[in-house]
A = this chain, B = another copy of it.
Amino acid sequence: MHMTLKPGAPTAPANSTAPKRRLRPAERRLQIVEAAVAFFAEAGLAGTTRDLSQRLGITQSLLYKYFDSKESLVEAVFERVYLDRLQPEWRALLLDRALPLRERMLRFYTAYTDAIFTYEWMRIFMFSGLAGAQLNARYLGHLRVAFLEPMLGEIAASAASARAPDMEDIWNLHGGIVYLGIRRFVYQTPTPDDVRPAIQRAIDRFLRDFGIGER
């Protein structure tokens, strides 16, 4: 018997509302990329072009009209998934001393987890990390410089106690929060529907430790 260990095509109905019509290139391309995001998130980056095309209700060869290779399709998927997830204004939010630091961090992590706690993002990020894609390192570097380091600076500035956090403390806070998404979407283990209470407690715990009271 010929067995493969890849997840393959999980029971996915071919687009049942099949108009079977010719689409304008731009539309079709977008449709393909969006389906590919969902498909690769589920099946992994080793998912086959045939399974993807079946899910779209188009022929496999049509994919090659829009992408030179599977690799370039995956690249388009990355672009689509990563693009515009990190909002530059979050930086201003974190630095806005008109707001209490706790409030700023709460808002930041609420917005951040709203953005990345999706089945597609979480899993594709993991898949690409495991595949050794440079993207992840760049993403985390950007995250650190644009948001986490400013956050660290603000906490240090507010810290009443002698102790101030270092970058590893920040990563610890960050990891504790992100782990919620990993449990939910990678390990597919039960997690609270609303993650905000857990996040709030994590942030409060963190700030309290550096002498920044809730009140």
Measured between alpha carbons, how far is A182 from B1 in the docked complex, in Å?
A: 36
Indicate if the CB atoms of A130 and B126 lie closer than 8 Å. Answer: yes
Indicate if the CB atoms of B168 and A174 lie closer than 8 Å. Answer: no
Write the A155-196 contact mask toward B (1 if CB under 8 angstroms, else 0): 000000000000011011111111110110011110010000
Measured between alpha carbons, how far is A180 from B178 in the docked complex, in Å?
A: 12
Measured between alpha carbons, how far is A7 from B208 in the docked complex, in Å?
A: 44
Chain copies in the assembled complex: 2
Q: Kindly list chain B residues whose C-beta atoms are within 8 Å of the C-beta of A208.
A: 208-209
- Classify the secondary structure of A's interface with B: helix
Indicate if the CB atoms of B69 and A188 lie closer than 8 Å. Answer: no
A121 at the interface (CB under 8 A from B): no
Measured between alpha carbons, how far is A173 from B182 in the docked complex, in Å?
A: 14
Indicate if the CB atoms of B5 and A74 lie closer than 8 Å. Answer: yes
Tell which of B7, B131, B179 touches A175, judged by Cβ atoms closer than 8 Å: B179
Measured between alpha carbons, how far is A208 from B205 in the docked complex, in Å?
A: 9
Indicate if the CB atoms of B180 and A171 lie closer than 8 Å. Answer: yes
Q: Kindly list chain B residues whose C-beta atoms are within 8 Å of the C-beta of A4.
A: 46
Q: Given A1-B69, A192-B168, are A186 and B126 also a contact pair (CB < 8 Å)?
A: yes
Give A residues with C-beta under 8 Å from B: 1, 3-7, 44-46, 69-71, 74, 123, 126-127, 129-132, 136-137, 140, 168-169, 171-180, 182-183, 186-189, 192, 197-198, 201-202, 204-206, 208-209
